[in-house]
Chain A
Amino acid sequence: MSILNSRIPEGSISDKWSNHKANIKVVSPANKRKLEVIVVGTGLAGASAAASLSELGYNVKAFCYQDSPRRAHSIAAQGGINAAKNYQNDNDSVYRLFYDTIKGGDYRSREANVHRLAEVSPNIIDQCVAQGVPFAREYGGLLSNRSFGGVLVSRTFYARGQTGQQLLLGAYSALNRQIAEGGVKMYTRHEMIDLVTIDGKARGIIARDMVTGEIKRFGAHAVVIASGGYGNVFFLSTNAMGCNASASWVCYKKGAFFANPCYVQIHPTCIPVHGSQQSKLTLMSESLRNDGRVWTPKKLEDAEKLRKGLIGPNDIADEDRDFYLERRYPSYGNLVPRDVASRAAKERCDAGYGVNSEGKAVYLDFKYAIQRLGKGTIEKRYGNLFQMYEKITDTDPYKEPMQIYPAIHYAMGGTWVDYNLMTTIPGLYAIGEANFSDHGANRLGASALMQGLADGYFVLPYTIGDYLAGEIMVPKIDTNHPEFAEAEKDVTARLNNLFTIKGKTPVDHFHKKLGQIMWDNVGMARNAEGLTKAIKEIQELRVEFYKDLLVPGELNNVNPELEKAGRVADFIELGELLARDALNRNESCGGHFREESSTEEGEAKRDDENFAYVAAWEFKGVDVEPVLHKEDLVFETIHLTQRSYK
């Protein structure tokens, strides 16, 4: 029997959330005023949670490393947000959204959490409309929907190609209102560098003021981690430069279990890497696959000529083009889910058919759509994306096919939480991408925004009350408590240590090296040999890091290199855990593909008998192997089947 208690409520799947809400404790308004909550991160989950908690009467302290909460990386989400509104009369329902999400996640998510997510999804749309989010509308003035990969209904709400931005600005505006009213104290350019626990309960954080370098203590009755995912462990990803896992990682090191780190989503349509100096990868919306056809040359010699720049894509006749997705998956064609499309592109490039100078790109061609629909229609649908592509690559996608390649995009894994979104440390919560709970082994398009806002607006504000109701007699947390002093001493020593190594190598070099190890061995296709090698290489890298790191500048001033050093130190450790988890999970599911567990045609093969569990890792020390705890996934409602897109 696992020590993990997921606290899944009793009752049928559709009654669980109502039953739970009826049974959990509520804090009276008078007591809410006495309680403090810290929220780390101000993306969709963090901003919506901070605002909602403050509206309820709690005293909230919110933190972000950017100069404004509005800049959190939720802002970069393009496509849309799902909700089971059934506005299109296409037989959508809470159950269908629930089912699609479980299936899309390759049956590795928790049923009860996903059903709750589907249940609250309609409320999110209502909330955002009320906040003045300018969703796309039909001529009649009603909300418009578009369809997205992997589902049969049209349930995605959107605001042009900037849905994430608009939803975040909605949550940000709610947050601003609370800041103005005094319910939220906002700390921008502050980075959480440690969690403080007193008697086993989360009681505050240590943060570094990124302008003055000052180390500060903040106390609260509960701490909420909403700091996003760990995609930057791979160095090159679609995440923002500053995205990091440090807040989650210090919680892990203080006892919060970390779940399913090997589930990382690789997005198939990103602009390929050029040269070795690239800092970040740019995503091209998944919606492009609706009208673009993916291909590589049929002949190896053509691919070779393309790589050398001797010919262009338009010199290759249609019959010499291999539309490999249409060939391999005739029924879904170019619209197979993200993980499948990504692996197929890698397969082609590994076989020598890559088309850019590095041999790591395939074509996404709009020639056929333009012939069929006319340039005007394509321009209306994708004009802004085409313009963005041209700005970056200097090629005109109306005339020449786009080059695309998969890139790390989203982390399904994260801090382990129970049904209340509480981690294994009492009083410590994780919401949004930072937790692991809803997307299983693969996330469907337009579901990240849904989950972040569901957690922040409609789940956490209820469930946190269940814990805080027991804390009403606890006075304001005294930051002079020895645990705070201890934590502050630790982080100061840690920063000093990083700063005083004064080796010869700037932090980015280590980060790039880590990224290379991860991408090569823990990327789209993994095997035991590669993973074992990766673990060893990462350990060696860690030793080298602490020997040869060079952090310039001053401790008590703006110092981006010092910030990066702290983050990369954590990424190195997280990368190792990621590889370990991938090694442990000897099955292929969703974004995690083990070559040992595949069909003869090279398709993923899930192993429900041995791996239908959440792998939650417990920290035991930096050089000590972490302990694996298993939370068995019980499917009461949905019957498990092998995904097929043939």
Chain B
Amino acid sequence: MADKILNKIYVKVWRQNNPTAKGRFETYTVENISQGNSFLEMIDILNDKLILEGKDPIAFDHDCREGICGMCSLYINGHAHGPDTQVTTCQLHMRKFSEGQTITVEPWRVGAFPVIKDVMVDRTAFEKIQQAGGFVSVNTGGVPDGNTIPVSQEDAEEAMDAAACIGCGACAATCKNSSAMLFLAAKVSQFAKLPQGKVEAKRRAKAMYAKMDELGFGGCTNTGACELACPKSISIAHIARLNREYLKAKIAD
């Protein structure tokens, strides 16, 4: 139960002062880290040390620290969100690391996610994909009673599986093609499974797809890396549904 202390670890982290600056790796030594600490707490401790040494702390994205907001990113030792399964970086604990280890920390490397500073990236591209069609076109008010249209439990559950996406970008970051397909599929599939979303399913699939291509994400080659990296284990079966919706729409055109 009691957590072990790591006497010394090395953090090799990408430092880049601004989007246009040329970045480089810096290696820092971090001492006396409890394995019960989360990875981001370790970065907090390192940052505290850097500040006291008069250096600039590492800028990284994080917010809820309970694996749901999707703000944290980081590519750690060759894994998006680090070497654990079904977790975001904020849920990654130092138990996954060992004494004397060098931990390489990089930003998401996706052309459509430019680096803002250090390991913080700009995921506005994901916003644009959502804005292209990730909604049901209803205004507030004037909607029917929630029980007017029954939805089978299986459909609701499958929609929920897809809707669990937190928009962190690990799928695109881990995909060898930097493809945003799993992200896209999660939204399209969620709505395609529900009667409320079905109404404009075709329009949605086409619009979101076109936006993804436009923004410079790669295409899907079905490697399945995304679903392994996804902290919410969203299945690539949703990508098949996205493809189906898209093809149906295109054939009808």
Instruction: Check if A560 sits within 8 Å of B140, measured CB to CB.
Output: no
Secondary structure call for the B interface: loop
A201 CB → nearest B CB, Å:
26
Beta-carbon contacts of A136-160 to B below 8 Å, as 1s and 0s?
A: 1111111100000000000000011
For A278, the chain B residues whose CB sits under 8 A away are 37, 41
Cα–Cα, bound, A70→B91 (Å): 19
- Whether B240 is near chain A, meaning CB under 8 Å from some CB there, is no
Within 8 Å by CB of B196, from A51, A132, A186, lies A132
Q: Which of B57-101 contact A (CB under 8 A)?
A: 57, 59, 61-71, 84, 86-87, 91, 93, 95
Interface pair A391/B91, CB less than 8 Å apart: yes
Q: Of B1, B48, B136, B147, which is within 8 A of A132 by CB?
A: B136
Contact B64 A73 (CB under 8 A): yes
A137 neighbours in B (Cβ, 8 Å): 150-153, 156
Cβ of B164 within 8 Å of any chain A Cβ, yes or no, is yes
Would B65 and A279 count as touching, CB distance under 8 A? yes
Q: Is the CB of B64 within 8 A of A141?
A: no
Chain B minimum-CB-distance residue to A283: B66
The reply on B214 being an interface residue by CB < 8 A is: no
A129 touches B146 (CB 8 A): yes
In contact, B95 and A461 (Cβ under 8 angstroms): no
A180 near B132 with CB under 8 A, answer yes
Are A141 and B151 in touch, CB under 8 angstroms?
A: yes
Tell me, yes or no, whether B135 is within 8 Å of chain A by CB. Answer: yes
CB pair B36 A67 closer than 8 Å: no
Is A173 a contact partner of B36 (Cβ separation < 8 A)? no
On whether the beta carbons of A392 and B141 are closer than 8 Å, the reply is no
Stretch of B122-130, B170-178, B216-224 on the interface side: B122-130
**Residues 103-129 (chain B) with a chain A CB within 8 angstroms:** 116-117, 120, 122-124, 126-127
**Contact pick for B64, options A55, A143, A240, CB 8 Å:** A240
A174 in contact with B140 (CB, 8 Å): yes
CB distance from B161 to the nearest CB of A (A): 9
* B27 at the binding interface (Cβ < 8 Å): no
B143 at the binding interface (Cβ < 8 Å): yes
Q: Which A residues are in CB contact (< 8 Å) with B131?
A: 176-177, 179-180
Partner of A135, one of B44, B140, B156: B156
The residues of B that contact A127 with a CB separation of less than 8 Å are 138, 140-141, 143
Q: A residues 108-131 with Cβ under 8 Å of B?
A: 123, 125-131
Q: Does A300 contact B (CB under 8 A)?
A: no
A73: chain B residues within 8 A (beta carbon): 63-64, 69
Q: Is A286 an interface residue (CB 8 A)?
A: no
Residues of B within 8 A of A165 (CB): 68, 164, 166
Residues of A within 8 A of B146 (CB): 85, 125-126, 128-129, 135, 143
Closest to B85 in A: A391
Q: How far is the CA of A52 from the CA of B48 in the complex (A)?
A: 43
A159-191 contact mask (Cβ, 8 Å, vs B): 1 or 0: 110100110010011101101100000101000
Give the distance to chain A from B49, nearest Cβ to Cβ, in Å: 10
**A461 in contact with B197 given A75-B69, A136-B156, A557-B18 (CB within 8 Å):** no
Is the CB–CB distance between B116 and A558 below 8 Å? yes
Tell me the smallest distance from the CB of A240 to a CB of chain B, in Å. 4
| Cross-chain contact A552 with B196 (CB below 8 angstroms) | no
Interface size on A, residues (CB 8 A): 87
Task: Confirm or deny: B38 has a beta carbon within 8 angstroms of a beta carbon on chain A.
Answer: yes
B68: which A residues are within 8 A, CB to CB? 75-76, 162, 165
* Cα of A70 to Cα of B57 in the assembled complex, Å: 26
Chain A residues near B3 (CB, 8 Å)?
274, 394
A560 close to B59 (CB less than 8 A): yes
Complex CA–CA separation, A141 to B147 (angstroms): 8
| Chain A residues with CB under 8 A of B137 | 177
Q: Smallest Cβ distance from A52 to chain B, in angstroms? A: 4
B45 close to A (CB within 8 Å)? yes
Most buried by A among B122, B134, B139: B139
Most buried by B among A143, A172, A176: A176
Residues on A with C-beta less than 8 A from B62 are: 241
B191–chain A nearest beta-carbon distance, Å: 5
Known A-B contacts A68-B126, A127-B140, A309-B1; the reply to A132 vs B197 at CB < 8 A is yes
Given contacts A76-B66, A129-B143, A173-B136, contact A138 B153 (CB under 8 A): yes
* A242 close to chain B: CB less than 8 A: yes
By a CB distance below 8 angstroms, the chain B residues around A136 are: 156, 160
A45 within 8 A of B: no
Which of B126, B130, B140, B145 gathers most chain A CB within 10 Å? B140
Chain B hits for A72, CB < 8 A? 69
- B121 smallest CB distance to A (angstroms): 9
B213: interface (CB < 8 Å): no
Query: Which B residues touch A134, using CB under 8 A?
Result: 156-157, 159-160, 163, 190, 193-194
Q: Does A493 contact B (CB under 8 A)?
A: no
Of all chain B residues, the one with the shortest Cβ separation from A552 is B51
A143-B117 contact, Cβ under 8 Å, with A66-B63, A138-B153:
no
Chain B residue nearest to A456 in the complex (CB) = B140
Contact B135–A177 (Cβ < 8 Å): yes
CB pair A557–B191 under 8 Å, yes or no, is no
> With A67-B61, A71-B63 as given contacts, are A553 and B40 in contact (CB-CB < 8 Å)?
no
Candidates B37, B63, B157; contact of A241 at CB < 8 Å = B63
* A426: Cβ under 8 A from any B Cβ: no
Give the CA-CA distance A132 to B122 in the complex, in Å: 28
Q: Say whether A68 contacts B167, CB under 8 Å.
A: yes
A-B contact pairs, 30 of them (CB 8 A): A70-B167, A71-B71, A72-B69, A73-B64, A126-B144, A128-B146, A129-B143, A129-B146, A134-B159, A138-B153, A141-B152, A141-B153, A160-B164, A162-B164, A172-B130, A173-B136, A186-B127, A240-B69, A241-B63, A274-B34, A277-B34, A277-B41, A309-B1, A391-B93, A392-B91, A393-B36, A457-B140, A558-B18, A558-B116, A560-B57
5 nearest interchain CB pairs? A141-B150, A173-B135, A130-B143, A134-B159, A129-B146
Q: Given A75-B68, A277-B34, 13 more contacts at CB 8 Å?
A: A48-B140, A55-B139, A126-B143, A127-B138, A127-B143, A129-B196, A137-B152, A162-B164, A177-B137, A388-B66, A506-B51, A508-B48, A550-B51
Seen from chain B, the residues whose Cβ lies within 8 Å of a Cβ on chain A are 1-3, 17-18, 34, 36-38, 40-41, 44-45, 48, 50-52, 54-57, 59, 61-71, 84, 86-87, 91, 93, 95, 116-117, 120, 122-124, 126-127, 130-132, 134-141, 143-147, 150-153, 156-157, 159-160, 163-164, 166-167, 190-191, 193-194, 196-197
A interface with B by C-beta (< 8 Å):
48, 51-52, 55, 66-68, 70-73, 75-76, 85, 87, 123, 125-143, 159-160, 162, 165-166, 169, 172-174, 176-177, 179-180, 186, 188, 211, 238, 240-242, 274-275, 277-280, 282-283, 309, 312, 357, 387-388, 391-395, 457-458, 461, 504, 506, 508, 550, 552-553, 557-561
